[in-house]
Amino acid sequence: MIPLDEAQARIARDIAALAPVEVPLSEARGLVLAEDITSAEAIPPFANTAMDGFAVRAADTQGASEASPNEVPVVATVAAGAVAPRPLEAGEAMRIMTGAPIPDGADAVIMVELTEAVGDDRVKLLAPVEVGNHIRPAGDDLEPGTVIFGPGEVLSPAHLGVCASVGRETVLAHARPRVGVFSTGDELMVGPDPLGPGQIRDSNRPSIVALVEEAGCIAVNLGLLRDDEGEIEAALRSAVGPDATNPVDALITSGGVSMGDFDFVKRVLSRLGDMNWMQVAIKPAKPLAFGMLMGTPIFGLPGNPVSSMVSFELFARPSLLSMMGRPINTRPTALAIADEPMHRPTDGKTYFDRVIASPEPDGTWRIRSAGGQGSHQLTSMARANALAVMPDGVNVDAGGRVKIMLLD
């Protein structure tokens, strides 16, 4: 067996970020920027009101109160997207809607709650306001020439909104990987039909496809392959290499990577690719294959459903995020208090136990078991929102602390 960090380091050496491409804003959420975004204009481009109310001269509100209001004529209405018909003169007010340009001559906005209408063309001002009240100056958010974002920024919805506000319709960002996923095994079947002797339903592919999509990649479902070397090779060649008909940037297989005589995936990959066949000192998910297949990284995950998902979290997910140029490619971790004992044998492995983690009001995490820890017991993986990291030889008593990897 090899240590976990050594296995992760072997994989990381062969993983590189995909080349930047021009991406529409509508498709760029979660991608990593590969250029500077600069504002060519002021944002906002003109002084505007932050409130519905009346544009006034602040001097005309001084001394006003509910008991002794200042009454002035309303000489115009300025809606968002419109401009005042003329400058505001002393002793006047203009009705104004949120986002509308401030009329020339006005230096404050009094919100409608501090006024009282007198018919359609006069208003009582019920409180004094200062110069600049509720006015958003031109360039209040961005001045022309400001470099807003740079390479390495992960584009959130707010980033995309800012890009749109400066007139960008596309951005240069690291490409979103297309990740092919298939599972193998004559024992597998799909659908609701009754199981035949020795059969089980394929749960790995739906789980891995969903994990790929959750990581922000494009999952390409390549289906279920039988234990046939020709069928497996044809599927691989359709996804990678010069003759690929459905090309992908990475491949993930499930099953067929252990030491058994009927591991057909292993035979084909050994013949076509430059592979590392590893037994990693972890539980679950000890068997792992990784290599380059015609220039494309391929991850061979174990067939047991929990092993497959844990292996994805530890090896495939960080690699896919690195391919996207993500500066941080790991799940968040925390120290948690165990609500019950967590015991494990001393066998040279790091255990990843499925747990339910709950935050306390003070920010402390508490954990309890999500259920059965067998690598075939997928239900407890569905309940879990974290994995407790249990180093070799370490037992945790109730009330003890343990590192967790947060999955949700």
* pLDDT of amino acid 249: 98
For the chain, give every domain's residue range: 4-18+176-323, 21-44+140-174, 48-136, 333-406
* pLDDT of amino acid 258: 67
Residue type, 342: M
Q: What is the pTM of this model?
A: 0.87
Distance CA 202, CA 223 (A): 10
Pairing of strands 178-184, 250-254: parallel
Cis peptide before 103 (omega within 30 of 0): no
Residue 272 half-sphere exposure, CB side, CA atoms within 13 Å? Answer: 23
Separation of first and last alpha carbons in the chain: 30
Distance CA 181, CA 188 (A): 15
CATH number for the domain formed by residue range(s) 4-18+176-323? 3.40.980.10
Q: Which residues of the chain have pLDDT under 70?
A: 256, 258-262
* pLDDT of amino acid 262: 58
CATH number for the domain formed by residue range(s) 21-44+140-174? 3.90.105.10
* pLDDT of amino acid 185: 83
Cβ atoms of 350 and 366 closer than 8 Å:
no
| Nearest residue to 382 (alpha-carbon basis) of 408, 400, 350, 348 | 408
* pLDDT of amino acid 260: 58
Check for a shared fold between 4-18+176-323 and 333-406.
Answer: no
Coil, strand or helix: which one is 159?
helix
- Helix %, strand %, coil % for the chain, to 5? 20, 35, 45
The CATH number fitting domain 48-136, selected from 3.40.50.800, 3.40.50.300, 2.170.190.11, 3.60.15.10: 2.170.190.11
Locate tokens 């909104």: which residue?
A: 161
Q: Does domain 333-406 have CATH number 1.20.1250.20?
A: no
